Amino acid sequence: MKTFKNALLAAAATCAVLASPVLAKQAATTVAIDAAQPGPVIDRNVFGQFAEHLGTGIYGGVWVGKDSPIPNVRGIRSDVVAALKAIKVPNVRWPGGCFADEYHWRDGIGPAEKRRVQINSNWGGVPESNAFGTHEFMDFAEQIGADPYVSVNIGSGTAAEAAQWIEYMTAEKDTTLAQERAANGHPAPWKVPLLGLGNENWGCGGAMSAGHYVEEMKRFANFTRNYNPAQRDGEARMKRLAVGWDSDKLDYTEEVAKAWKDHVYSWDIDGISLHKYTTGGWPPHLPGSGFGTEDYAASIADTLTMDTLITKQSAVMDKYDPAKKLMIAVDEWGAWLAPTPGSNPGFLQQQNSLRDGILAALNINIFARHADRVKVANIAQMINVLQAMILTDGGKMVLTPTYHVFRMYVPFQDATFLPVRFTAGELMLAGKTLPQVDAMAARDKAGQVWVALVNVDPDAGTSVTLPGYRSAAGEVLTAPRVDSINTFAAPDAVKPAPIAGKAGGAGVTIALPPRAVAVVKVSN
């Protein structure tokens, strides 16, 4: 029987272009859940978000200012906060991205009219007002109920600057920086659960060699001390994440893991990052809407290579960390497509279709299968940029298909992974061999079993039988076409609908429509 793992390996392979775009289909799938052999917990932080100072991701997407006619709380738009609270965002990575390694935190504190205005040289060459700084970000995170994931500037900053920023955010009392924070409006220290030590320092973060980055990273890890008394020990302590994977190169991962294995008492890290975008080939060129079968197949095949990349990085880390004390943080992932026509190409604005919802589900399922290593992931990006949850235009807001997948997957946050056995099937699409069906299961803290199902086939439905269960009910996300999108004029063109299974002698069977993502609660 072809397992899903084998299907994933096949997904990346291409074959000769065939006359018919779809040659092999699977009429039915049996998904057997091994509830007696639970795996690791699917950390809620794999559902993290990413908010960089890029395009209208922050300004217009999150921040509209206190005097805006758009409803807001202290300048942060209320409609966006409500939508993000509904998907229980666990953490938000900020201020970047490439922007992080040019960000100097003092530019973003104090009276807004006195903050430095600079050019955002990474993204569009537009002025950056620094109106959204540390206090505004922390307020935003608190409003949506998320933990801050702060990236410090290794590229153009200093260890002293980073250390002072962490002190400013976390010192409890009686230091000059804590008093300055209080004078700026926040007497109590904040918690900083996650700290990124740079970003892509092999590229936009300074074009450093792996060895040079490791030496810098060790200094920053040593001096970035968290002073919040609630974060000094145990699981509550701040986790430091180093830079890893570099565009199919593992030199950063190798050097960081090797250094950590023999690290001295004065520094430590808790994980290594991995960045992977679904592009279908570089530079990003696939359209966000109006695409055909060939572009859809290229996107699916590319996104499935996430499994291979995690496996490769895990293998390197296993050499130095067989006990798996270090996590993988996939803190940039998602579809990177061609910019929306007429937009500033440096703003990375793109549409978000049903295809992107399918891509999100496939990636989350992969993270769940690697839950022993993957503890953090951040989709890029939260609002108006790349594979966004939300699109805004002035006072208007629309939820994307990707948003709906994240909301449907909320039950998997901190749930226990349950192994599944199934035949993925082979879908021959535009010359690529893809798995037709994907499945993932987990048990939540209340003991309820949840199953996620994906039908990759853009044209044909299938039935899925879950042996040993008598009922299945939940939601399904589909639409008339894989390139169906939500717009401000038609915001509900792609939205979830109820779905339920039918009990039979073999178990409960679900009729899964084509091009669909379903999440169901099952019971005996």
Which positions are annotated as active-site residues?
A: 200, 332
Side-chain-facing half-sphere of 112: CA atoms under 13 Å: 11
Q: Measured between alpha carbons, how far is residue 36 from residues 240, 253, 417, 436 in Å? A: 34, 35, 11, 27
Residue 520: other Cβ atoms inside 10 A: 26
| Farthest-apart Cα atoms in the chain, separation | 74
Buried b (16+ CB within 10 A) or exposed e, 273-289: bbbbbbbbeeebebbbb
Lay out the sheet containing 449-455: strands in order across. 416-418, 437-443, 449-455, 516-523, 471-477, 497-500
The amino acid sitting at 412 is: F
For residue 501, say if its preceding peptide bond is cis, omega within 30 degrees of 0.
no
Asked if residues 54 and 96 have their Cβ atoms less than 8 Å apart, the reply is yes
Residue 425 phi, psi (nearest 5): 80, 165
Number of H helices, E strands in the chain: 11, 28
Q: Are strands 327-335 and 374-379 parallel, antiparallel or unpaired?
A: parallel
DSSP-based three-state secondary structure for 313 = helix
**CA–CA separation, 11 vs 105, rounded Å?**
44
> What sign for the dihedral angle of Cα 179, 185, 191, 195?
negative
Residue 395 phi, psi (nearest 5): -85, 0
Task: Quote helix, strand, coil % in the chain, to nearest 5.
Answer: 30, 25, 45
**CA–CA separation, 133 vs 115, rounded Å?**
10
Q: Name the one residue in this structure whose structure tokens are 């600079």.
A: 118
Asked if residues 65 and 131 have their Cβ atoms less than 8 Å apart, the reply is yes
E strand or H helix that includes residue 220: helix 210-223
**CA–CA separation, 67 vs 75, rounded Å?**
7
E strand or H helix that includes residue 142: helix 134-144
